[in-house]
Chains A and B, each alone.
Chain A
Amino acid sequence: MRLFDVIGFALASLGSNRVRTALMLLAMSIGVAAVVLLTGIGNGARLYIVDQFSSLGTNLVIVIPGRTETASNTPATLVGETPRDLTLGDARALERGDAVRRLTPINIGELSISWRGKERRVPLVGSTAPILEIHHLRLDRGVFLPEDDLEIARPVCVIGSKVYRELFGQQNALGEMVKLGGFRCRVIGILGSEGRSLGLDTEELVIVPVAFAQMLLNTEGLFRILVEAKDLGGLARVKKHIVDTIAKRHYGEEDVTIITQDSVLATFDKILKVLTLTVAGIAGISLVVAGILIMNVMLMAVAQRTAEIGLCKALGAGELQIMALLVTEALLLSSIGGLLGLLLGFAGSWVAVQVYPTLQTTPPLWAIVAAMSTALSTGFVFSLLPARRAARLDPIQALARH
């Protein structure tokens, strides 16, 4: 029998019982649509979260003095040798990398700040102008640190809103001189209340130029350097640039630790992929249920069409041929149902995008392929039993039932 004829024959027999065919198509298409839609939503959620993370600055590289990752076994840790400091010179050298967009050194300490007899202790951050954007800080009033050379210790400061309230109350602070750890220093800006950043409450911060902070805290070293790559792809180059530069400046020793946020991002990405797969798996079960439905209905169909099958055997159809006819019917059902399901799934994800545009619920290609192949293979597997039963029918008994 020719393939084309087999398909035609199977189609004709599907067409002869419309209700049964429609029900099976419905079951199959709902299964496929569920897989497509759920993986689409899962994928959309993943992309959304990854996107949110990158807007927080995934192309940020944090350089910390001292080698924490491999320090446990080096003789240096055994004899308790302190790591070499990171200096402003290091920061200046790092700035010259071509994949580096900008960087900001950071120093942290604690000092007392006073104005007209009021005094309180505050966490002090020494940094440069770019920290405002790198750390998503918001300025409420005044100006931020000037875009000076790293090493200019200009005595100015930007204060957090709580510090402002406690020292100045309702009075104007901009342009006022405060006393910071024994040095006079002019208030040039007030930060907005923005929650926590750098692990510190921004409302309580006082930010000064990094060189001024070194002077106030009497140190040469830096707490860390934040380096921002031009893009995500440049991250690896930036890392290499940092390692090379530091090694050159620190007499061949890579005595810094480099932290990137992409490892956090990768973890999230992995978790969400697993979640998407889980959801797709659950939807896949509905496909298997559809397959079982196909099996049941096919068994009924075989019972209904006993005489027809017996006749075909009497007319010269072999067992394989009978099986091929029934399996083709099931495959047609599952492929047509699958295609309908794809349409349904895409329509569903289109609706989801209209309702919630930030979630890009386009189903990934692998989900489409997986849903279709699951549909086809369940159709195939679950039609084998009824088809075998049909093929084994005794033509004499089958024909006797009319």
Chain B
Amino acid sequence: MIELREVCRHFTVGGQEVRAMDRVSLVIEPGEYLSIMGPSGSGKSTLLNTLGLLDTPNSGTYLLDGQDVTSLSDIQLAATRSRKIGFIFQFFHLIPRLTAQQNIELPLLLAGTPRRERAERSTRLIEAFGLGDRRHHKPDELSGGQRQRVAIARAVINEPAVLLADEPTGNLDRTAGAEIIELIEELNRSGLTLVVVTHDPEIGERARRRVRVVDGRIAGDSCRI
């Protein structure tokens, strides 16, 4: 479970203070499907980065599964990220010199999982995601949809509790985008908490719960029944 209490995050840009998060409080239950929408510069990416432990709030409390993570050290944060959080990005962020399978195994590699187990787990995901014939291809030999599927496989290989997606379809055509959304929704149905940041209403509307961010504040939080 994720709980933000009165979280603030501000940056100083050119001598001016920008409030990217202004006293944000948010509770996300396990297994929820939540979209974060808002105009660009509204602070939705900062919110996502904070949820993903990439950004540390200036004030407020962030409880992840009951543990206050705002005071964790760098190593503890990295370990928590590795265990509990999966990321997917608009630009996929695959490492060009590694094959699809090696990219998928990267989090396990960083976590020190033995080679055999890495291969077993990545093979299972590759089969499940329909990438069987692409596993030895480098990212530049894959289509956009395939790349994002590799990125999703990489995000979930550590079996995290939360999947954070930052504009996951932003760099894909409609068909590929729809496939990707279906894939992550399928993962959500199997129990993964899913948070999608988007400014595409069509995608945002699909989520059961929709959070709207404006000027660093939560301007709306609605649930589809």
Given the interface contacts A9-B109, A396-B55, does A315 sit within 8 Å of B49 by beta carbon? no
Interface size class of B (residues with CB under 8 A): 20 to 34
Chain A residue numbers with a CB within 8 Å of B106 are 312, 315
A53 to B79, CA, bound (A): 68
Are A317 and B78 in contact, CB atoms less than 8 angstroms apart?
yes
Given the interface contacts A13-B97, A16-B97, A312-B110, does A319 sit within 8 Å of B74 by beta carbon? yes
Distance (Å) between the CB of B6 and the closest chain A CB? 22
Q: Is A116 an interface residue (CB 8 A)?
A: no
Are B107 and A315 in contact, CB atoms less than 8 angstroms apart?
yes
Count chain A CB atoms within 10 A of each CB in B45, B55, B89, B93 and give the residue with the most.
Answer: B93
Are A315 and B112 in contact, CB atoms less than 8 angstroms apart?
no
Q: Is B111 an interface residue (CB 8 A)?
A: yes
Distance (Å) between the CB of A8 and the closest chain B CB? 8
Chain B residue numbers with a CB within 8 Å of A13 are 97
Given the interface contacts A1-B110, A1-B111, A12-B98, does A315 sit within 8 Å of B87 by beta carbon? yes
Chain A residue numbers with a CB within 8 Å of B109 are 1, 5, 9
Distance (Å) between the CB of B181 and the closest chain A CB? 21
Q: Is A2 an interface residue (CB 8 A)?
A: yes
Chain B residue numbers with a CB within 8 Å of A1 are 109-112
Q: Is A46 an interface residue (CB 8 A)?
A: no
Are B93 and A311 in contact, CB atoms less than 8 angstroms apart?
yes
A212 to B222, CA, bound (A): 130
Chain A residue numbers with a CB within 8 Å of B114 are 2
Q: Which residue of B lies closest to A16 (CB)?
A: B97
A13 to B109, CA, bound (A): 15
Distance (Å) between the CB of A103 and the closest chain B CB? 76
Are B107 and A318 in contact, CB atoms less than 8 angstroms apart?
no
Q: Which residue of B lies closest to A1 (CB)?
A: B112
Given the interface contacts A314-B81, A396-B55, does A320 sit within 8 Å of B110 by beta carbon? no
Taking a contact as CB atoms closer than 8 A, the residue among B78, B95, B97 that contacts A321 in the complex is B78
Chain B residue numbers with a CB within 8 Å of A402 are 91, 93
Are A315 and B82 in contact, CB atoms less than 8 angstroms apart?
yes
Distance (Å) between the CB of A322 and the closest chain B CB? 9
A99 to B177, CA, bound (A): 97
Question: Could you tell me which residues of chain A, from 13 to 47, have a CB within 8 Å of some CB in chain B?
Answer: 13, 15-16
Q: Is A239 an interface residue (CB 8 A)?
A: no
Taking a contact as CB atoms closer than 8 A, the residue among A2, A310, A319, A395 that contacts B112 in the complex is A2
Are B97 and A315 in contact, CB atoms less than 8 angstroms apart?
no
Given the interface contacts A395-B54, A396-B49, A396-B55, does A317 sit within 8 Å of B110 by beta carbon? yes
Residue-wise, chain A 295-327 has the 8 Å CB interface mask toward B (1 for contact) of 000000000000110111111111111000000
Q: Is A399 an interface residue (CB 8 A)?
A: yes
Question: Could you tell me which residues of chain B, from 16 to 72, have a CB within 8 Å of some CB in chain A?
Answer: 45, 49, 52, 54-55
Chain A residue numbers with a CB within 8 Å of B107 are 315-316
Q: Which residue of B lies closest to A320 (CB)?
A: B75
A5 to B102, CA, bound (A): 12
Residue-wise, chain B 97-120 has the 8 Å CB interface mask toward A (1 for contact) of 110000000110111101100000
Are A316 and B79 in contact, CB atoms less than 8 angstroms apart?
yes
Are B95 and A318 in contact, CB atoms less than 8 angstroms apart?
no
Question: Could you tell me which residues of chain A, from 277 to 311, have a CB within 8 Å of some CB in chain B?
Answer: 307-308, 310-311
Given the interface contacts A321-B110, A402-B91, does A316 sit within 8 Å of B81 by beta carbon? yes
Chain A residue numbers with a CB within 8 Å of B78 are 313, 316-319, 321
Are A311 and B95 in contact, CB atoms less than 8 angstroms apart?
yes
Distance (Å) between the CB of A325 and the closest chain B CB? 9
A318 to B89, CA, bound (A): 20
Q: Is B154 an interface residue (CB 8 A)?
A: yes
Count chain A CB atoms within 10 A of each CB in B49, B52, B110, B114 and give the residue with the most.
Answer: B110
Distance (Å) between the CB of A4 and the closest chain B CB? 8
Q: Which residue of B lies closest to A6 (CB)?
A: B109
Are A315 and B54 in contact, CB atoms less than 8 angstroms apart?
no
A319 to B91, CA, bound (A): 23
A307 to B93, CA, bound (A): 7
Are B75 and A399 in contact, CB atoms less than 8 angstroms apart?
no
Q: Is B158 an interface residue (CB 8 A)?
A: yes
Count chain A CB atoms within 10 A of each CB in B55, B112, B158 and give the residue with the most.
Answer: B112
Q: Which residue of B lies closest to A314 (CB)?
A: B87
Chain A residue numbers with a CB within 8 Å of B93 are 307, 310-311, 314, 399, 402
A164 to B115, CA, bound (A): 93
A145 to B54, CA, bound (A): 99
Chain A residue numbers with a CB within 8 Å of B112 are 1-2, 5
A312 to B54, CA, bound (A): 12
Chain B residue numbers with a CB within 8 Å of A316 are 78-79, 81-83, 107, 110-111, 158
A101 to B125, CA, bound (A): 87
Chain B residues engaging chain A, CB cutoff 8 angstroms: 45, 49, 52, 54-55, 74-75, 77-79, 81-83, 87, 89, 91, 93, 95-98, 106-107, 109-112, 114-115, 154, 158
Return 15 A-B CB contacts under 8 Å, by A number. A1-B109, A12-B98, A312-B110, A314-B52, A314-B81, A314-B93, A315-B81, A315-B106, A316-B111, A317-B82, A317-B110, A318-B75, A396-B55, A402-B91, A402-B93
A sample of 18 more A-B contacts (CB under 8 A), given A312-B106, A316-B81, A317-B110, is: A1-B109, A5-B115, A12-B98, A311-B95, A313-B78, A314-B87, A315-B82, A315-B106, A316-B79, A316-B83, A316-B110, A318-B75, A318-B77, A318-B79, A319-B75, A321-B110, A396-B45, A402-B91
